[in-house]
Amino acid sequence: MTDFALSLLDNLELPIAILTDKGEIDYRNLAFAKTFGDDAELWVAKAAKTNVSGERGWLQLLFSARDRSESIEAEFQSRTYRISRVHFDNDDSATKVGLTFDDVTRQREMEQAKSDFTSMIVHDLRGPLSGIQGTLEFVLSSQETRLDPMHEELLLEASRESERMMGLINELLDFSKIESGNFEVERDPVHLAGILRRSVKSLQSVASRDEVHLLTAHGSDLPMIHGSAEKLTQAVINLVSNSVKFTPQKGVIAVGAKLLRGDADNDSIVVTITDTGVGMSPEDLSRIFEKYKQSKSKSVRGGAGTGLGLYIVKQVIEAHGGSVTVSSLQGVGTSMVLKLPLRRVA
Ligand SMILES: Nc1ncnc2c1ncn2[C@@H]1O[C@H](COP(=O)(O)OP(=O)(O)OP(=O)(O)O)[C@@H](O)[C@H]1O
Ligand SMILES: [Mg+2]
């Protein structure tokens, strides 16, 4: 390297080093020497080599041209570094990589604190709310209480609102799990037809109130799939309630499902939720699966959402190995298509 290049590298605050797969440090800039000190010789020797029993050191991932990940994250002297490969050189004698070491400790701590805070809040809100729900349910279903129609209607309204709030809290809980990388779905045998029926049923009264026709139809041969009944129900409810929100009076929402035969073991179930609502512009369409994204088209019923619904739906379906696609025309309607792979349940 020229003196100019060397001095340039030494003036950077970012630690940079060139390491060989034999575990040697070929070059280090000043920031690298300052950050890792003399210890560096030792851990590089270990991390960059493959040992006698064939075990790869953790840095080896960055030495293989085939490995696609060109950056890794590692804990080191109780700090977290994002180590990125900025140069790769493979000649006969050795493989050399140029690496930068970004200290991302603070960033990771902030993210962790944020997600811990959200889960804490969410847990602490769920407890009292289910207490309220239980109480309302008890009063409404008890034989002893004789309510006059007005009070009964008020309590029913309180019960519906607390259900809505529980939905929001659950959405936030899923969101914080997704953000912290802890989102997983169960893999129980579930009946999709039942899930569709239950989801549609739970929205039937809202749809009738808004004078929207809500229909469901599915093939009689739908097999079971592996998944989480709770999360899939939540995803379908989310999509159907979007349709209800964005479909004017006398509109139609159709929920359907059918078995799609693929080659070999590639069968899947396709679920479609189609509405005759306000639709979306191509520009909005490309962004609605992102978090907090809402299109400019206003809900025909008011009631602002969080813009997390579709983001979570996508994560839920992808966690089941499936995919979500959407097509929409402004003023005509929207169609959401879920494709869920079928690993047959014996
Ligand atoms: N069926 C639909 N017809 C028209 N626009 C839709 C439809 N479904 C979704 N959208 C648009 O996509 C946006 C994002 O939907 P998403 O479900 O993520 O959020 P939201 O419904 O606004 O809030 P929430 O988090 O309560 O679900 C909506 O705000 C709306 O603009
Ligand atoms: Mg929504």
Same domain, yes or no, for 16 and 126? no
The rounded Å distance from CA 5 to ligand 1 centre is 52
Token pair for 14: 């970012």
- pLDDT at 318 > cutoff 90: yes
- Whether residue 253 lies inside any domain: the answer is yes
Same domain, yes or no, for 203 and 332? yes
Arithmetic mean of pLDDT over the chain: 88
Q: Which ligand is nearest to the CA of 167?
A: 1
What kind and span of H or E run contains 83?
strand 79-90
pLDDT value at residue 219: 81
Q: Which ligand is nearest to the CA of 307?
A: 1
- pLDDT at 80 > cutoff 90: yes
Same domain, yes or no, for 71 and 169? no
pLDDT value at residue 192: 92
Residue 315 carries which DSSP code?
H
Which atom of ligand 1 is the closest one to the Cα of 295?
31
The rounded Å distance from CA 115 to ligand 1 centre is 24
- Whether residue 162 lies inside any domain: the answer is yes
Same domain, yes or no, for 42 and 160? no
Which pLDDT band holds residue 107 (cuts at 50, 70, 90)?
very high
Which pLDDT band holds residue 155 (cuts at 50, 70, 90)?
very high
Same domain, yes or no, for 62 and 201? no
pLDDT value at residue 60: 83
Half-sphere exposure (Cβ direction) of 240: Cα atoms closer than 13 Å: 31
Cβ neighbours of 101 (radius 10 Å) = 20
Q: Which residues are within 8 A (CB) of 250 and not within 5 positions of it... i.e. 6 or more apart?
A: 211, 212, 213
Q: 321: Cβ below 6 Å to ligand 1?
A: no
- Whether residue 154 lies inside any domain: the answer is yes
Range of the domain at 87: 3-103
The rounded Å distance from CA 21 to ligand 2 centre is 51
d(CA 269, CA 267) in angstroms, rounded, equals 7
- pLDDT at 23 > cutoff 70: yes
SS (H, E, C) 205-228: HHHHHCCCEEEEEECCCCCCEEEC
d(CA 40, CA 181) in angstroms, rounded, equals 31
The 3-state DSSP class for residue 102 equals strand
Given 88, 103, 118, which residue is the final one in a domain?
Answer: 103
For ligand 1, atom 4, name the residue with the nearest CA.
279
Q: Which ligand is nearest to the CA of 294?
A: 1
Which pLDDT band holds residue 56 (cuts at 50, 70, 90)?
confident
Token pair for 257: 């499902």
Ligand 1 pocket test, candidate residues 170, 238, 287, 288, most atoms within 8 A of CB: 288
pLDDT value at residue 173: 84
Same domain, yes or no, for 15 and 93? yes
Strand partners, 79: 76
Q: 236: Cβ below 6 Å to ligand 1?
A: no
Same domain, yes or no, for 195 and 283? yes
Query: Which of 261, 200, 193, 182 is closest to 224 using CA atoms?
Result: 193
Query: Which of 68, 45, 39, 40 is closest to 58 using CA atoms?
Result: 45
Q: What is the pTM of this model?
A: 0.68
Same domain, yes or no, for 170 and 216? no
Q: Which residues are within 8 A (CB) of 240 and not within 5 positions of it... i.e. 6 or more apart?
A: 199, 200, 203, 214, 253, 255, 273
Cβ 105 vs Cβ 113: under 8 Å? no
Q: 310: Cβ below 6 Å to ligand 1?
A: yes
The rounded Å distance from CA 305 to ligand 2 centre is 6
Number of folded domains in the chain? 3
Same domain, yes or no, for 202 and 333? yes
- Whether residue 326 lies inside any domain: the answer is yes
The rounded Å distance from CA 36 to ligand 1 centre is 49
The 3-state DSSP class for residue 277 equals coil
- pLDDT at 345 > cutoff 60: no
- We report the CATH number of the domain holding residue 129 as 1.10.287
Which of the two residues, 235 and 56, has the higher pLDDT score? 235
pLDDT value at residue 346: 42
- pLDDT at 116 > cutoff 90: no
Tell me what percent of the residues of the chain surpass a pLDDT of 70. 94
Same domain, yes or no, for 271 and 230? yes
For ligand 1, atom 27, name the residue with the nearest CA.
309
- Whether residue 346 lies inside any domain: the answer is no
311-335: average pLDDT: 95
Longest dimension (CA), the chain: 91
- Whether residue 255 lies inside any domain: the answer is yes
pLDDT tens digits for range 161-214: 998 898 888 888 888 888 878 888 988 999 999 999 999 998 998 899 889 999
Same domain, yes or no, for 53 and 67? yes
Same domain, yes or no, for 111 and 99? no
Q: 305: Cβ below 6 Å to ligand 1?
A: yes
Which of the two residues, 328 and 78, has the higher pLDDT score? 328
pLDDT tens digits for range 290-309: 887 777 666 666 566 778 89
Given 120, 153, 179, which residue is the final one in a domain?
Answer: 179
Q: 223: Cβ below 6 Å to ligand 1?
A: no
Q: What are phi and psi of 106, to 5 degrees?
A: -60, -45
Residue 61 carries which DSSP code?
G
- pLDDT at 145 > cutoff 80: no
Cβ neighbours of 16 (radius 10 Å) = 19
Given 103, 130, 164, which residue is the final one in a domain?
Answer: 103
pLDDT tens digits for range 255-298: 999 998 887 778 899 999 999 999 999 999 988 998 877 776 66
- Whether residue 18 lies inside any domain: the answer is yes
Q: Which ligand is nearest to the CA of 303?
A: 1
Ligand 1 pocket test, candidate residues 238, 241, 291, 310, most atoms within 8 A of CB: 310
Q: Are strands 252-260 and 213-218 parallel, antiparallel or unpaired?
A: parallel
